[in-house]
A and B are shown apart, each in its own frame.
Chain A
Amino acid sequence: MTRPPALTFTDKGIYCPAGDFHIDPWRRVDHALITHGHADHARGGMRRYLATHAALPVMRHRLGNIDAQGIAYGDVLRIGDAQVSFHPAGHVPGSAQIRVEVAGDVWVVSGDYKVIDDGFSEPFEPVACQHFITESTFGLPIFRWRGQADVAADLNAWWAGCAAEGKTAVLGAYSLGKAQRLMTMLDDTIGPILTHTAIENTNEVLRTQGLVLPETVLVTTDTDPKDHPGALLLAPPSALGAKWARRFGPQESAFASGWMALRGVRRRRAGDRGFVISDHADWAGLLWAIEQTGAENIYVTHGYTDVFTRYLNESGYTAQVVPTRFEGETLDSGEAA
């Protein structure tokens, strides 16, 4: 008996024939199910969107006036012959893994995910399935994240050190997700948190939907650095070292990303410090997540796909590389997760 699989891989993205919908497509389609609001997963131009209630505000903010339906985590929706549900991926607020079941054939598309609880995003929940589509952004054993509390202690010690020396601490981080997670890790008794417009815009969206963030001060052309001694300036990576940041006088710069684990990348960024904080699973996290699903068939997308797939095959899974246009957190891109 041959039945088409519940999900297939097409040149438009991941497709479900039984429900006639795509997941995170990169070309125009009628019905797009979106795992989360980052640009490489939520693209414009789809006729209809479906995403979690918590992911929609950011998508609307980014994509404008879209025809979008919201869904709660865990609710099951019937689309054609497919049963669809969304489950927390722990990547950023509102991010989801999408479970698709067609006639007992269960697939899970994980999108981007991390398995630790960052105290901010809805924590990752393993979902049992037969077919698991996983990312592999940090799919090498050299990537092992330290506990968030330890990194937060380092981060705050750095900020306090800058403040004590009369320097502004300039911290670079991606505007959606990472920046807000960092804000929740910061000890705002050290000083005020100033933000770049790109970050503050996202802050506003997330605050409006009920997420709690520390108080921030938006930097405008009228902002006088002297009014904010001991400040930490949170900016997208592209603004680091730019004229915008330079007017804050003596400063130290830092960048927060999983790639900061690598000394070469850290030095190339030409910042002073690198903090290893990622919204993706590390090596152990990826392996744990895969094991938890109980799936035998693993499809590996963006990241160290070839190497990770080979390792999974040697470990008893049936794994294959699936080419996608998801970029995850690429090493040298200007803006990503």
Chain B
Amino acid sequence: MKRFAALFDAIDQSTKTTVKVAALANYFRTAPEHDRMWCIALFSGRRPKRAVTTTRLREWGAEVAGIPLWLFEECYPVVGDLAETITLALPSNVTTDDSSLFHWINALRDVYKADETARKAFVLDAWQRLGGTERFIFNKLITGGMRVGVSQKLMTRALAAATERDEAELAHRLMGNWHPDDTTWHQLIEAEDASADASRPYPFYLAYGLEVDPAALGDTEDWRAEWKWDGIRGQLILRDGQHFVWSRGEELMTDRFPELARAVDFLPEGTVLDGELLVWQPDANHPSSFNALQTRIGRKTVPKKLLAAAPVALHAYDLLEWKGEDIRQRAFAERRALLEAACADLPPEAPIRLSPQLRFSEWQTLADHRENARSAFAEGLMLKRADSPYLAGRKKGDWWKWKLAPLTIDAVMIYAQAGSGRRANLFTDFTFAVWNGNDLVPFTKAYSGLTDEEFRKITAWVRKNTLQRFGPVRQVTPHHVFEIGFEGIQASLRHKSGVALRFPRMLRWRQDKPLQEANTIGDLEDMLKTYG
């Protein structure tokens, strides 16, 4: 654990990417194999099963710290992280421990099977042996989520540096269903035939937002355009007579979208599609709103009634594997031609549809398309260079998303709540209201879009202008007006205001705008009529 703790400190104590990558690469070169494997696993979101509930951890933590539970609970929101709260509140370790990371992970897995008395004895013993960062990591292993300012991308870059292998190839190897118990360093990183797992997806190619006039991209002939849908990005894999559906967050969603099982009836083995999962009613000429898709997202199994009410199809826009061959290096135009040919004869009952391309020869035509995106139920446009390969991860240059400008409304902040983690102790989560006569009606929450400096300012203001506290929520004097941006608006019975917004966030703190000039509920209703 000491070596891993030293790695963690090196990463945590620097804001510089080069330093973090160097520390990780050094770890990959020098740590024992099992520790290396678990390091990759932890930094790519894999972790041992939770051996202890957080409720028990809190109780035991308070007990060992010698403080009442309520006091421990008061500490938690100040720290913003349970693992760290325990690390800080407990007395220093009395002995030290030289066991490896792998040892502790195995010990945690063994204790998972034990009864509660044994679990408690194990955890309390560990707290006596491990101090500081080691204790923090141990607690993190239990509570889950080693998010420490290291993205998977950064970790992959370090792995590439340590192994002198290609970064994109490594990113592909690290995708999907592998687990440190079932594979070795050699199989995962080095073996030539890495196609062992039929379910393994390709890394998604992600686009940056276009912030310049598209004319700056050059000749229109070099570019292709399509709608940017507001659904779930998904990768459909057809291999070995099976099908797999992956989300962009590398979550296996196969069972959530049983409609896609029929894809094997219409497309050959060795096909991998990139597209958007959308609810689309059989006779409709546009997708249903994201709300309809939301009824499907949370469900691991889908009742028949819901399947009929909210049918999902994959709207394919790229072909990554064809007849068992990885074709990501071929030009987009070529992949697209193959995709169109493959989808040409699909019957209406097939769960796959071709996501159409938009014709344009002038950039102005494309700008007009974009203006119409909302009526096509799209968020904007995707621009893809005709000769671009399918890259891994977020890369600039070949693909751009050109989203619609958000809808906006000026609203009054009426409640504030502190964030957690990096935002612990800062008021970052706000509730906003619009005028209804002389009353303010809350209609949305938002918690992103301001700079740290602005959050600091508003936090100091909230502390001095709190009218009432409801647990962690503070009602504040109505005073500050913010411009709220959002992607869509829907009628909602669950909200007092009667509307629900899609992706609300703060665009600007309107310190220039007096309270009385914020928008009204009537303005929101007008927007609902126009865009809902």
Residues of A within 8 A of B (CB): 140-144, 252, 261-265, 267-268, 270-273, 304, 307, 310-311, 314, 331-333
A140 touches B456 (CB 8 A): no
Known: A263-B81, A264-B80, A332-B426. A141 touches B71 (CB 8 A): yes
Residues in B59-93 with C-beta less than 8 Å from chain A: 65, 67-68, 70-72, 74-75, 78-81, 84-85, 88-89
A264 touches B16 (CB 8 A): no
Question: A-facing mask of B197-214, CB < 8 A → 1, else 0?
Answer: 000000000000000000
Chain A residues lying within 8 Å of B75, measured Cβ to Cβ, are 140-142
A268 touches B89 (CB 8 A): no
Known: A264-B79, A332-B460. 18 other contacts (CB 8 A): A140-B75, A141-B71, A141-B72, A141-B75, A142-B75, A142-B85, A142-B88, A143-B88, A252-B14, A261-B88, A262-B78, A262-B80, A263-B81, A267-B422, A270-B452, A272-B13, A272-B16, A311-B71
Interface residue? B421 (CB, 8 A):
yes
Chain A residues lying within 8 Å of B514, measured Cβ to Cβ, are none
Question: In the complex, what's the smallest C-beta–C-beta distance from B130 to chain A, in angstroms?
Answer: 16
A142 touches B15 (CB 8 A): no
B12 touches A263 (CB 8 A): yes
B89 touches A264 (CB 8 A): no
List 17 A-B pairs, Cβ < 8 Å: A140-B78, A141-B89, A142-B79, A144-B88, A261-B88, A262-B88, A264-B421, A264-B425, A268-B422, A271-B15, A272-B15, A304-B74, A307-B71, A307-B74, A332-B459, A332-B460, A333-B460
Chain A residues lying within 8 Å of B67, measured Cβ to Cβ, are 141
Closest partner residue, chain A, to B72 (CB atom) = A141
Chain B residues lying within 8 Å of A304, measured Cβ to Cβ, are 74, 78
Question: A-facing mask of B364-399, CB < 8 A → 1, else 0?
Answer: 000000000000000000000000000000000000
Question: A-facing mask of B456-488, CB < 8 A → 1, else 0?
Answer: 100110000000000000000000000000000
CA distance A304 to B459 in the complex (A): 16
Chain A residues lying within 8 Å of B424, measured Cβ to Cβ, are 262, 264-265
Within the complex, which residue of B14, B68, B79, B452 is in contact with A262, where a contact is CB–CB below 8 Å? B79
Interface size class of B (residues with CB under 8 A): 20 to 34
Closest partner residue, chain A, to B463 (CB atom) = A330
Which one of A252, A264, A272, A304 has the greatest number of beta carbons of chain B within 10 Å? A264
Closest partner residue, chain B, to A333 (CB atom) = B460
B74 touches A268 (CB 8 A): no
Question: A-facing mask of B420-434, CB < 8 A → 1, else 0?
Answer: 111111100000000
B68 touches A314 (CB 8 A): yes
Within the complex, which residue of B65, B420, B426 is in contact with A141, where a contact is CB–CB below 8 Å? B65
Question: In the complex, what's the smallest C-beta–C-beta distance from B237 to chain A, in angstroms?
Answer: 38
Closest partner residue, chain A, to B65 (CB atom) = A141
Within the complex, which residue of A142, A144, A272 is in contact with B78, where a contact is CB–CB below 8 Å? A142
Which one of A142, A314, A331 has the greatest number of beta carbons of chain B within 10 Å? A142
Chain A residues lying within 8 Å of B68, measured Cβ to Cβ, are 311, 314
Interface residue? B356 (CB, 8 A):
no
Within the complex, which residue of B12, B15, B71, B85 is in contact with A270, where a contact is CB–CB below 8 Å? B15
Residues in B416-451 with C-beta less than 8 Å from chain A: 420-426
CA distance A310 to B426 in the complex (A): 24
Known: A263-B81, A264-B81. A332 touches B71 (CB 8 A): no
